Amino acid sequence: MVTVPSRPVIVALVGILIALAAVPFVGDTYAIKVATRMIVFAIFAMSLDLLLGYTGLVSFGHAAFFGLSAYMLHLYSPEYDAVNLAGALAFCLAVTALAATLIGALVVRTRGIYFIMVTLAFAQMLFYLFHDSPIAGGSDGAYIWVKPALTVGGVMVIDLESRESLFYFALGCLVVCYALIVVVLRSPFGQVIQGIKVNEHRMRALGYDTYRYKLVSFVVSATIAGVAGFLFACIDGFVSPQLLGWRESGIGLVMVILGGMGTLYGSVVGAIAFIGVEEIVRDRNIVGFMSEHWQILMGAFVILVVLLLRNGLTGLLLLIKRRRTANGDGA
C-alpha cells in the first residue's frame, strides 16, 4: 500500500548523503564541482523516474524542461547584479511548469512509442528556438555573469557565487525533492499514477480520468527537472542550446535505467555512478590513452550493468539482501 524506502535503502541513501556532504572538506574546487553536477543530475534523473518508473511514460524530451529553466535564469538575471535567489527560482519553475502544461496537454494524449516521438519533437522545437533565434545568444549560448544570491534584511544568506554555497544549496534541493516525491508517491495521487503505469485501462474502468493524472504527473516531473536545470546554470554560469537537446534527455534515461527505474533512489545512484565513471574514464592518469576514447569505456560500463544486473545498480542491493537471507536460512 505505501511506498516507503526499505531499511537498507535508507542506510545507503544516508551514506551517500554523508559522503557527498563531506566532499567540500576533503576535495578541491574541481571535486566540489563534480559533486555538484552529480547532485544536479540526481535531481534530473529522479524527476524522470517519476514519469518513467512510476507513471509509465517514457519521455525522450525531458531535457527541454531542464534547459528551459536554465535559460530562464539567464533571461531573468540582470547583467551586473545578483538576482534574488528565491524570486529567480520561483520564476524559472513557474515558466517551466507553464511550458510543461502546454506541451503535456498535447503529448499526454499519445502513448507508447508515439509518446516518445512527440516528447522528442517538442524538445527539439525548443532546442531550435534557442539555437536559431537571437534571444539568448543563439547557438553560442549565453552567460549568467552574476549568480543568484539570497539576502535577508541586508545580510547575504546564500551566495551561489561561492562553490561551497552552491554545493550545499544543491544538496538541500536534492533532499527536498526526494522527500517531496516520496510524499507524493504515498498520497492518493501517487497511488493513481502507479496504478496507471500497471494497467491504465483498468484505471479508466474504475472511474479515473487518467489523462488528467498523467498530465499533472508530467508537470510535476518537468518542474523538478526545472530545479535541476536552474542549479546546472549556476555551476558554470553558462547556458547553451545543448542543454535542451536529445543527448541530454538520453543521458537522463540512461541514468535512470543504470540505477534501476521505479525505485527513485536508483536514479540518485545512477546519476552519481554515471558522472563518477565518466570522470574516471576521462582521466588520462587512470585509463591512459583510452581517455581519448572515453565514450567506449563509458558504453562498456553501461552495457555491463544492464546485462549483469537486472534492476540496475540498485539490483546489487537486492542481491546482497537475498544472499544474506539465504545465509541466514542456512545457519
Partner 1 sequence: MTGPVLAMEGVSKWFGGLYAVRAVSIAFEVGRVDVIIGPNGAGKTTLINLLSGDLLPSAGRIVYRGRDITQLPSHRISRLGIGRSYQITNIFPQFTCTRNVWLAAQSRMKSCMKFFRPAAGYRDVGKRVDRALTLAGLTGRAGELAANISHGEQRQLEIAMLLATEPRVLLLDEPLAGMGPEETENIVALIRQLARDHCIVLIEHDMDAVFAVADHLTVMVNGEVLESGPPEQIRTSATVRQAYLGDELLESGG
Measured from the CB atom, the residue of 18 and 205 that comes closer to partner 1 is: 205
Is 238 strand, coil or helix? strand
Centre a 10 Å sphere on the Cβ of residue 216 and count the other Cβ atoms it contains. Answer: 18
Nearer to partner 1 by C-beta: 60 or 178?
178
Residue among 168 and 178 whose Cβ is closer to partner 1: 178
CB of 212 to partner 1, least distance (A): 8
Nearest distance in Å: CB 320, partner 1: 22
β-strand pairing of 238-239 with 149-152: unpaired
Distances (CA, A) of 167 to 33, 38, 57, 158, 234: 8, 10, 31, 11, 10
Q: Cell numbers at residue 252, please?
A: 537522463
Q: Whose Cβ is closer to partner 1: residue 75's or residue 184's? A: 184
Minimal distance, residue 262 CB to partner 1, in Å: 10
Cα-Cα-Cα-Cα torsion 199, 201, 203, 209, nearest 10 degrees, comes to 130
CA 302 to chain centre: 18
Least distance between partner 1 and beta carbon 116 (Å) = 23
Provide the angle, in degrees to the nearest 10, between the axes of the packed helices 85-107 and 113-132: 130
CA distance 42 to 45: 5
**Based on CB atoms, which residue is closest to partner 1, 204 or 310?**
204
Question: In terms of CB distance, is 1 or 18 closer to partner 1?
Answer: 1
Considering the complex, state which of residue 55 and residue 210 has its C-beta at the smaller distance from partner 1: 210
Please say whether the beta carbons of 16 and 268 come within 8 A: yes
Helix (H) or strand (E) holding 157: strand 155-159
- The separation between CA 216 and the C-alpha centre of its own chain, rounded to angstroms, equals 18
- Minimum CB separation of residue 216 from partner 1 in Å reads 7
Residues in the chain: 331
Helix, strand, or coil (residue 138): helix
CA dihedral 13, 15, 16, 18 (to 10 degrees): 120
Binding site for partner 1 (CB under 8 A): 1-2, 183-184, 186-192, 195, 198-199, 201-210, 212-213, 216
Nearest approach, Cβ of residue 223 and partner 1 (Å): 12
Question: Cell 524522470 sits at which residue?
Answer: 48
Which residues make beta-bridge pairs with 238?
143
Q: How far is the CB of 13 from partner 1 (least distance, A)?
A: 19
Extract the C-alpha cell encoding 154.
Answer: 541586508
C-alpha–C-alpha distance, residues 97 and 161, integer Å:
26
Q: For partner 1, which is the closer residue by CB, 143 or 189?
A: 189
**In angstroms, rounded to a whole number, what is the distance separating the alpha carbons of residues 183 and 161?**
32
CB closer to partner 1 out of 163 and 321: 321
User: Least Å distance between CB 192 and partner 1?
Assistant: 5
